[in-house]
Structure 1
Amino acid sequence: MAAEKKRLVPISIREEEIRCDRTHEDYDTCLIKGPTVLDAIQCTFFLMDPTISTPQNPVVEKIRSYPRKAEDRTMSKITEVTIVAGPPSPKCQIQHDAPAVVFSVGGYSSYAGNFFHDFNDGFIPMYVTVNSFFPDQDVVLVLTDVNDWWSSKFTELLRTFSKHPIINLDNESATHCFPSASLGIITHGPMTVNPALLPNSKDMTDFRAFLGKAYGQTQTQNPPKSRPRLVITSRRGTVGRQLLNQDEVKIEAEKIGFDVSILEPKRGTPLNESYALINSSHAMVGIHGAALTHSLFLRPGAVFVQVVPLGAEWVSEVCFEMSAKAMGLEYMEYKIMAEESSLIETYSKDEMIIKDPVAYRGEKFSNHPAMRIYLRKQNVKLDIVRFRDYLKLVYVKAKKFMDKEG
């Protein structure tokens, strides 16, 4: 493994047939350009009729298809898939006309059940990968590390990626033949699709349209609305970043003129229902957390308000602000004051952890012990007077969007 990490340039087993690129910090990829046979039981792709190797001297590459390459603990949970050029390949039982795209949905996704990582480590990189290797082509999805609840929850989205039945290597026994295959999953960064890196110049607005294709087909036409719809994402029952006076905030928003809905997503919540609610809304408000991933379902031009807890400025920007702007949302943020944080009950206002979070934990804090304090031990009680004035501005923008788009 150590030798693989030191590779600084793309390596080639056979220039026109198999190429593995291990130059990126976050992921590896291997592309099989020629016909290949998948032995599902061995989790191995065999190059058909190789001419460069002998059975006594095979060429072997191994890859874990998940975009957390630098995290050894996470990657150890990802199934390793092998590519072999050398031995005679097994006989083909099922022939496919479309290329295979291989990736894991383990890690933080199906194992942890984290909605943010489902998209950040899964579906957005999947979208990037398919459009990198096989733009505007049909593909066959080959998945590893799949939980039943995960495949059931994301059925519509998976069908939008491919019209073919999914091959689940966790319980598949047949051999499958493909004209080509890609292994590994490409990320452009947190919640990002970079059009400059794709041959068809797709971006986050295209990904948003892709989600609409998956979940927007079953929607019925809603009657015209007289009041803008506001969705408040709830974190009740979770660890940290709960809105302690949620009911009070809801009442204030209704007084201002919003029709308010509370979204309290659970693992079993059908995504088409969440999509229908949010896509028909004009504004969304929530404290930084995985539930804000539902902002992907907002229509371009809708208002998205991220409530930023103390110490969460950088992670709020990286996870949701940049993606919201890239999708054409009207992004706004409400940075809480020290008095609105539950941490004020534990620390004094003069302590650095409250007074200057950036100085306390640094510009980026993914590996800083403060991460657990700011994200897991902090709840929020909004100053209703202060937040009311903010909501009035949100209402003006949401009403303008409603009058224009319905």
Structure 2
Amino acid sequence: MGTDSPAIPALAGEKSAARTVAQHRQAVVGFLMGFFLVLLLYTTVSSQFGPRAAIGLLQSTSAVRTNQNSRNPLTSPSSTPSNLTGGDVHVVGNVMKQGIAQKTDAANKGPKDEHIQHDVKNNKTEAKFGDKQSKTTAEAEKRVNEASDRMEEELIRQQIDQGAVKNDTRTEPGAPRKPICDLSDPRYDICDISGDVRTLGANRTVLYVPPAGEPAGDIQEWSIRDQSRKHLEYVNNVTVVSLNASRPAPACTSRHAVPAVVFAMNGLTSNPWHDFSDVLIPLFLTARAYDGEVQFLVSDIQPWFMKKYGLVLKNLSRYDVVDFNADAGVVRCYPHVTVGLRSHRDLGIDPARAPRNYTLLDFRLYIREVYSLPPAGVDIPYKFVNFPEIVAAAQDAGFEVVHVEPRRDLGVEEFSRTVDSCDVLMGAHGAGLTNFFFLRTNAVMLQVVPWGNMEQSCMRFYGGPAIEMRLRDVEYSITAEESTLYDKYGKDDPVVSDPDSIHRKGWQFGMRYYWIEQDIRLNVTRFAPKLQEVLRMLRD
């Protein structure tokens, strides 16, 4: 016992010292938390009376279309500079709202950003401490951190939605810059360029000028076809060059605050299927997320295409289309330029790869909105669009028939209303069926499948996309006797008796016989039950 007694006062002294340290620590923590609350309260109050540019980052009101010269243009998220000023904050706010906006399909409607409104309300509520004094400071700090995390997540998601391959200049010193062109996709090549981008249309050239502080690197150059088919020889190349200090860039003669998309209108266009598959759907994928705040620089411009699909182009972009080839003596400067068009598959969209997870149904509804076609559910008489050979059979089945031959000079706006008024679009497998984009939801596409084992092609090119767009696909496969090949070659010729042997010789043989030479003469007696089947579907 005697040996233990001296330790008791020492132990008491240690406890006293520990309490002193703990009290001191609590005082420091209390001071820091008090300072944090004062700073947060100051930030909240000052935000209510500060410059409007700062409010633009969080405020989410419906955009109102104004004069283009006075509106704050939307730039690509990847073009946001790293050194933000007060004025830049408002641009970032617009970018963020655009990136996380709900999809809008009307040309004169701005994004209604309900999701960011929810976060804004949370931030404002958390900033009002008058009725929150019963909450602990730890809980307040946690909520503020969570709100900050949500805001950061929204910005990241917005960047992902754009799907751009970014040439981020904010790299570690000496680190190589990410290539600005992506040639890896089997269907298309694409260049996404952010920063100081300059276009020389007459030279079919796009230049990227790296910032002065970026480590010097070799000049890089790409030559790509600026459409959705990279191997299509009919489309001329556009050259993209990433410069360095050894090669000076030409001075800007025209500066733009919105991004630009460079693409070609030629190629296989003039066939409606290719108009949509090669240009309109890829352009929708590439530019729709900008909600009109983008300019088109069109190489090999086609006046007939501009006239025929002018409404679509004007809806996708609020700015004048630039004839890229004729843009001589002009150096246009943009914060972001995309060269080429994204494409997932023929006449299709992969939602997993599309900005905002667009689907082919979204595209069809968008096209209907562009041409001001009425919504589904309006009572209309039964009508039918078909070829002359089956008019009588369709009338006997109870349909009112409208016969229209698609032509290049046919006004799309007028023709779209004709198709919209119909319950059924019928035609032999071919480009004319591309007008199914103007049909109403649950309408029927009746596809006549030619002779020659064409069922798989019919499903791939039209049947599958129709189902994706919530249309009903009905197919009628003709017999050999209903093909003009039967009369021309006879029933024993391999063209008629063994189509597979023809296909094995190569696609050019199948194309010759079953696409080019073949016409169809329907056996209306055999075809009549199919019309009755369609009629029952519409009545159910």
Name the TM-score, length of structure 2 as normaliser: 0.63
Q: Give the 3 Å change call, closer, same or farther, for CA 353–53 of structure 1 in structure 2.
A: farther
Shift of 1:309: 0.3
Which stretch of the first structure deviates more once superposed, 367-376 or 301-310? 367-376
> Counterpart in 2 of 1:93?
253
> Counterpart in 1 of 2:13?
none
Q: Tell me if structure 1 keeps the 8 A contact 2:292–2:318.
A: no
Matches within 5 A, 1:26-105: 26-51=187-212, 58-71=219-232, 73-74=233-234, 77-86=235-244, 87-105=247-265
> Counterpart in 1 of 2:334?
178
> Counterpart in 2 of 1:241?
none
Q: Tell me if structure 2 keeps the 8 A contact 1:278–1:298.
A: yes
Of all paired residues, the percent bearing the same amino acid is 28
Q: Quick one: which amino acid aligns to residue 201 of structure 1?
A: N
Larger proportion of helix: 2
Q: Quick one: which amino acid aligns to residue 287 of structure 2?
A: V
Q: Give the 3 Å change call, closer, same or farther, for CA 136–399 of structure 1 in structure 2.
A: same
Task: Tell whether 2:515 aligns with 1:394.
Answer: no
Q: Tell me if structure 1 keeps the 8 A contact 2:166–2:178.
A: no
What is the aligned counterpart of 1:369 among 493, 496, 509?
509
Partner SS state of residue 357, structure 2? coil
> Counterpart in 2 of 1:281?
422
Shift of 1:146: 1.2
**How many angstroms apart in 2 are the aligned matches of 1:220 and 1:328?**
14
> Counterpart in 1 of 2:102?
none
Shift of 1:285: 0.5
Q: Tell me if structure 2 keeps the 8 A contact 1:285–1:307.
A: yes
Q: Tell me if structure 1 keeps the 8 A contact 2:195–2:210.
A: no
What is the aligned counterpart of 1:208 among 364, 370, 373?
364
Q: Tell me if structure 2 keeps the 8 A contact 1:18–1:32.
A: no
**How many angstroms apart in 2 are the aligned matches of 1:94 and 1:17?**
27
What is the aligned counterpart of 2:275 among 112, 118, 128?
118
> Counterpart in 2 of 1:334?
476
**How many angstroms apart in 2 are the aligned matches of 1:123 and 1:366?**
30
Q: Tell me if structure 2 keeps the 8 A contact 1:283–1:398.
A: no
Shift of 1:181: 1.1
> Counterpart in 1 of 2:401?
260
Shift of 1:204: 0.6
Q: Deviations over 1:66-120 (max 9, x none)?
A: 222234x33xx424233342333222232222211111111101xxx21111111
**How many angstroms apart in 2 are the aligned matches of 1:49 and 1:206?**
37
Shift of 1:142: 1.4
Shift of 1:392: 1.1
Q: Give the 3 Å change call, closer, same or farther, for CA 83–213 of structure 1 in structure 2.
A: farther
Partner SS state of residue 306, structure 2? helix
Q: Tell me if structure 2 keeps the 8 A contact 1:17–1:34.
A: no
> Counterpart in 2 of 1:231?
385
**How many angstroms apart in 2 are the aligned matches of 1:340 and 1:291?**
20
Q: Give the 3 Å change call, closer, same or farther, for CA 367–12 of structure 1 in structure 2.
A: farther
Q: Give the 3 Å change call, closer, same or farther, for CA 83–137 of structure 1 in structure 2.
A: farther
> Counterpart in 2 of 1:321?
463
Q: Deviations over 1:139-179 (max 9, x none)?
A: 21111111211211111010111111111112223222211
Shift of 1:346: 2.4
**How many angstroms apart in 1 are the aligned matches of 2:404 and 2:438?**
13
**How many angstroms apart in 2 are the aligned matches of 1:392 and 1:108?**
37
Larger proportion of strand: 1
Q: Tell me if structure 2 keeps the 8 A contact 1:129–1:186.
A: yes
> Counterpart in 2 of 1:138?
293
Partner SS state of residue 521, structure 2? coil
Q: Quick one: which amino acid aligns to residue 502 of structure 2?
A: Y
Q: Quick one: which amino acid aligns to residue 288 of structure 1?
A: H
Q: Quick one: which amino acid aligns to residue 340 of structure 1?
A: E
Q: Tell me if structure 2 keeps the 8 A contact 1:66–1:78.
A: no
**How many angstroms apart in 1 are the aligned matches of 2:283 and 2:313?**
10
> Counterpart in 1 of 2:435?
294
Q: Give the 3 Å change call, closer, same or farther, for CA 199–280 of structure 1 in structure 2.
A: same
**Which of the two has higher C-alpha Rg?**
2
**How many angstroms apart in 2 are the aligned matches of 1:156 and 1:12?**
33
Q: Quick one: which amino acid aligns to residue 297 of structure 2?
A: V
**How many angstroms apart in 2 are the aligned matches of 1:171 and 1:398?**
51
Task: Tell whether 2:310 aligns with 1:155.
Answer: yes
**Unaligned regions of 5+ residues in structure 1, if any?**
1-9, 235-245, 401-406
Partner SS state of residue 170, structure 1? helix
Q: Deviations over 1:314-333 (max 9, x none)?
A: 32222111110110101000
> Counterpart in 1 of 2:495?
353
> Counterpart in 2 of 1:272?
413
Q: Tell me if structure 2 keeps the 8 A contact 1:36–1:46.
A: yes
Q: Give the 3 Å change call, closer, same or farther, for CA 13–80 of structure 1 in structure 2.
A: farther
Partner SS state of residue 68, structure 1? coil
Which stretch of the first structure deviates more once superposed, 40-49 or 12-21? 12-21
Partner SS state of residue 293, structure 1? helix
Q: Which structure is richer in relative contact order (CA contacts within 8 A, separation 6 or more)?
A: 1
Q: Give the 3 Å change call, closer, same or farther, for CA 150–11 of structure 1 in structure 2.
A: closer
**How many angstroms apart in 2 are the aligned matches of 1:305 and 1:347?**
28
Partner SS state of residue 334, structure 1? strand
Equivalenced residues, count: 365
Q: Deviations over 1:20-75 (max 9, x none)?
A: 111122211111022311122222222234455879x532222211222234x33x
User: In angstroms, what is the RMSD of aligned CA positions?
Assistant: 2.7
Q: Tell me if structure 1 keeps the 8 A contact 2:221–2:239.
A: no
Q: Quick one: which amino acid aligns to residue 333 of structure 2?
A: C
Q: Quick one: which amino acid aligns to residue 529 of structure 2?
A: D
Partner SS state of residue 41, structure 1? helix
Shift of 1:344: 0.3
